[in-house]
Amino acid sequence: MCGIVGYIGKKDINKILLDGLKELEYRGYDSAGIATMSDGEFKEYKAVGKIKNLEKKIYQTSETKNNTDKSSTGIGHTRWATHGKPTELNAHPHLGDYSYVVHNGIIENYKELKDELIQVGKKFVSQTDTEVIVHLFEYYFDKLNDSKKAFDATISRLQGAYSILLITQAQPDKIYFIKLGSPLAIATCSDGEYYIASSQSPLIGLANSVTYLEDGISGVVYENKVEFFEKNKRVTNDIKWQDLPISKLSAQKDGFRFFMEKETYEQSSVIVDTMMGRIKDDEIVFDEFDSDFLKNIDGVLISACGTSYHAGLTGSYLFERLSKIRTQVEVASEFRYKQPLLSNKTLFIAISQSGETADTIEALKMAKKAGLKTVVVCNVDNSSMTRVADVTILLRAGIEKGVASTKAFSTQVTVLWMLSLYIGKQIKTISNKLLKSEIKALRETPKYLIIDENIHQKCQRLSKRYLHGDGFFFIGRDVFYPLSLEGALKLKEISYIHAQGYPAGEMKHGPIALADEKLFTIALMPKGLLYEKTKSNVQELIARDSVVLSISPISFKLADDFIKTKDSEHYMHEFFEMLVVLQLFSMEVAIRLGNDVDMPRNLAKSVTVE
């Protein structure tokens, strides 16, 4: 949630900060702001809404047009509101009397700190938790007259999870930073300039060497140098620098209208990457595991949020069916507070595209603390979860920029399918015959994710009809039930239309009361799994006038609309093909409504608050 950038150097600071914020905009876009300092003089710009509003403001002021040749220091932020409304006053950077701060995460004890600071005469102008940081810093600086000591004293008082950048007129050529539970990376290039960001995308193309900070690392960036500290002690050897990729190409839209569309189209090729090197002849190979890692495992516990949770739920069917291992799936925000009974013979699997989702990180930490072996299935290397889990299995989906997750889901399900086979083999619960036929099906899967243009066009046409009405039910059985949850989530998050996923067989236990001509039903009717049972459930809805769109390889005349998917021997092929249809359908409805598909309202790409 939210994005942070910082820069010290002689380049055009406004441009560098703005470009960096544009890269992070998908993480939050309620408001944005930058604060820069050149020749000891501060400039601040803030705007509500997207970065383009901030850009307009900056370039309306003619003196900001050219800013080269002098050394400047600056910080910027794009916000997803947690405390206080998305207004300019609440936008970062927050100013004290002579310092600015930007912050990701949450300061849990901000109320106590705020009361304390008000009592010593500090004036607050925003409703944010962030503002306490800058006042606290200045309170200590006024006492200690040393900005490093004041910064250390400040962070020693903060509770919560955060990453922070602070600049001050008291020492204008420095940026102070701390990382604790929220990501932060520092990068440099041959010019010796320093760039800071909360993820690597703003750094690509500018710098060539990067360090992803560990929790508890603070420090100071100067022009040409950076110092790192942990608990006030200087650290040098433990800071690992690594090369940054040099091309931004993979993060561009490539002619598609939206990142979501591009990422939907990419799925067929990215799952090839997901499988690469992990299928050898008739074996699944995960080099990520030591040979005895899965020894004595008698159950699997999966925890995740949102789309990743839906992947986990899909995985639970595959684990029980293919590896015959007891599998439980928990929404991470529930799991963390239910005081679960945990056995150290259970394998814990966290699933997360970003690796930064606060609830999933906590669930993972809880499992680890309870002595469970932990695995994270994740798309972002060097993310918080990959640092906690015993084993990381990377999705290899490439950067996912659309807020509505697409290729992360298909790669997650692919990894879980492979894992179910791998575990089955390790614990000797799967026959060689079944393993062989499943691997064959896995290998064939990418072709079911290739988008049929006729289907895409049909979704475009149908989107007109399915704009109105009282809402949607997406229904399916078995793995098509989690798929129906995912279809409903996609539709609601980008079209803002109410939609609910439901097990097809459960409709008659209550929800069917809603059926009438204003209720739309999207029915997932695979040929290879419980077709007749699902068909009966759909007929029950048709009998009560619900408008039905059937997605199936078998033509179903009673439905109002029908999208024909390919015939396949394996239900997982049908699963992936229907997934694409659902993604395209929701995207086309959202486009027809004129919504911003990549940055839907109220959402953010990475949810680092609980």
Using CB under 6 A as the binding rule, whether residue 264 contacts ligand F6R is answered as: no
Using CB under 6 A as the binding rule, whether residue 352 contacts ligand F6R is answered as: yes
Cα separation of 397 and 158, whole Å? 36
Region near ligand F6R per CB under 6 A, out of 202-210, 211-219, 305-313, 505-513: 305-313
DSSP class of residue 512 equals G
212 C-beta neighbours (distance < 10 Å), count: 23
Nearer to ligand F6R, 6 or 402 (CB): 402
| Residues 158, 149 contacting (CB under 8 angstroms) | no
Among residues 147, 218, 360, 420, which is the contact residue for ligand F6R, using CB under 6 A?
A: 360
Q: Taking the chain, what is the end-to-end CA distance rounded to the nearest angstrom?
A: 11
Region near ligand F6R per CB under 6 A, out of 52-60, 174-182, 347-355, 514-522: 347-355
Using CB under 6 A as the binding rule, whether residue 493 contacts ligand F6R is answered as: yes
Nearer to ligand F6R, 128 or 308 (CB): 308
Where are the extended beta strands (E) located within 337-424? 346-352, 373-378, 391-394
Region near ligand F6R per CB under 6 A, out of 66-74, 141-149, 354-362, 503-511: 354-362
Nearer to ligand F6R, 305 or 421 (CB): 305
Nearer to ligand F6R, 413 or 538 (CB): 413
Using CB under 6 A as the binding rule, whether residue 323 contacts ligand F6R is answered as: no
Among residues 353, 384, 521, 608, which is the contact residue for ligand F6R, using CB under 6 A?
A: 353
Give every CB contact of residue 411 below 8 A, 6+ residues apart in sequence.
Answer: 267, 270, 271, 274, 379, 395, 396, 397
DSSP class of residue 321 equals I
Cα separation of 550 and 348, whole Å? 36
Q: What is the SS3 assignment for 28-77?
A: CCCEEEEEEEECCEEEEEEEECCHHHHHHHHHHCHHHCCCCCCCEEEEEE
Backbone angles phi, psi at 448, to 5 degrees: -80, -10
Cα separation of 104 and 181, whole Å? 10
From 391, 392, 358, 365, select the one nearest 378 (Cα to Cα).
392
Q: How far is the CB of 456 from ligand F6R (least distance, A)?
A: 20
User: Is 305 an active-site residue?
Assistant: no
Contacting ligand F6R within 63-102 (CB under 6 A): none
Q: How far is the CB of 405 from ligand F6R (least distance, A)?
A: 3
Contacting ligand F6R within 396-455 (CB under 6 A): 404-405
Region near ligand F6R per CB under 6 A, out of 169-177, 182-190, 302-310, 580-588: 302-310
Among residues 308, 316, 386, 463, which is the contact residue for ligand F6R, using CB under 6 A?
A: 308
What angle, 0 to 180 degrees and rounded to 10, lies between the N-to-C axes of helices 51-60 and 13-24?
Answer: 170
Catalytic residue among 2, 305, 378, 459: 2
Backbone angles phi, psi at 271, to 5 degrees: -70, -20
Give every CB contact of residue 28 below 8 A, 6+ residues apart in sequence.
Answer: 1, 2, 3, 78, 79, 80, 81, 604, 605
Nearer to ligand F6R, 201 or 307 (CB): 307
Region near ligand F6R per CB under 6 A, out of 78-86, 155-163, 299-307, 433-441: 299-307
For 35, 194, 336, the CA distances from 131, given in Å and listed in that order, are 14, 25, 29
Nearer to ligand F6R, 78 or 218 (CB): 78
Please state whether 471 falls in left (phi above 0), alpha (psi between -120 and 50) or beta: left
Using CB under 6 A as the binding rule, whether residue 349 contacts ligand F6R is answered as: no
Nearer to ligand F6R, 74 or 306 (CB): 306
For residues 590 to 609, the per-residue mask of contacts with ligand F6R, x marking binding by CB under 6 A and - elsewhere, is ----------------xx--
Nearer to ligand F6R, 7 or 259 (CB): 259
Nearer to ligand F6R, 133 or 385 (CB): 385
470-497 burial: b if 16+ Cβ within 10 Å, else e: eebbbbbbbbbbbbbbbbbbbbbbbbeb
Q: How far is the CB of 379 from ligand F6R (least distance, A)?
A: 8
Region near ligand F6R per CB under 6 A, out of 107-115, 353-361, 446-454, 581-589: 353-361
Nearer to ligand F6R, 218 or 406 (CB): 406
Q: How far is the CB of 260 from ligand F6R (least distance, A)?
A: 9
DSSP class of residue 202 equals G
Among residues 14, 188, 198, 307, which is the contact residue for ligand F6R, using CB under 6 A?
A: 307
Tokens representing 440 are 């064959």
User: Is 2 an active-site residue?
Assistant: yes
> What value, to the nearest 5°, has the Cα angle with vertex 30 and ends 24 and 34?
60
Region near ligand F6R per CB under 6 A, out of 153-161, 335-343, 349-357, 514-522: 349-357
# chain residues binding ligand F6R, by CB under 6 A:
15
Instruction: Find out whether the peptide bond into 503 is cis, omega within 30 degrees of 0.
Output: no
From 525, 548, 527, select the one nearest 535 (Cα to Cα).
525
Nearer to ligand F6R, 72 or 374 (CB): 374
Cα separation of 554 and 564, whole Å? 7
Catalytic residue among 46, 174, 407, 605: 605
For 95, 138, 354, 500, the CA distances from 594, given in Å and listed in that order, are 37, 46, 27, 22
Q: How far is the CB of 108 from ligand F6R (least distance, A)?
A: 21
For residues 361 to 400, the per-residue mask of contacts with ligand F6R, x marking binding by CB under 6 A and - elsewhere, is ----------------------------------------
Region near ligand F6R per CB under 6 A, out of 60-68, 260-268, 306-314, 579-587: 306-314
Q: How far is the CB of 412 from ligand F6R (least distance, A)?
A: 8
Q: How far is the CB of 76 from ligand F6R (least distance, A)?
A: 23
Using CB under 6 A as the binding rule, whether residue 354 contacts ligand F6R is answered as: yes
- Indicate the length of the chain as a whole number: 610
Q: How far is the CB of 575 from ligand F6R (least distance, A)?
A: 17
For 56, 76, 200, 263, 285, the CA distances from 208, given in Å and listed in that order, are 30, 21, 11, 26, 33
Among residues 306, 315, 476, 600, which is the contact residue for ligand F6R, using CB under 6 A?
A: 306
User: For ligand F6R, which residue has the nearest CB?
Assistant: 306
From 269, 211, 368, 485, select the one nearest 376 (Cα to Cα).
368
> What value, to the nearest 5°, has the Cα angle with vertex 162 and ends 157 and 168?
70
Nearer to ligand F6R, 134 or 416 (CB): 416
So which residues are the catalytic ones? 2, 605
Contact residues toward ligand F6R (CB under 6 A) are 305-308, 352-354, 357, 360, 404-405, 489, 493, 606-607
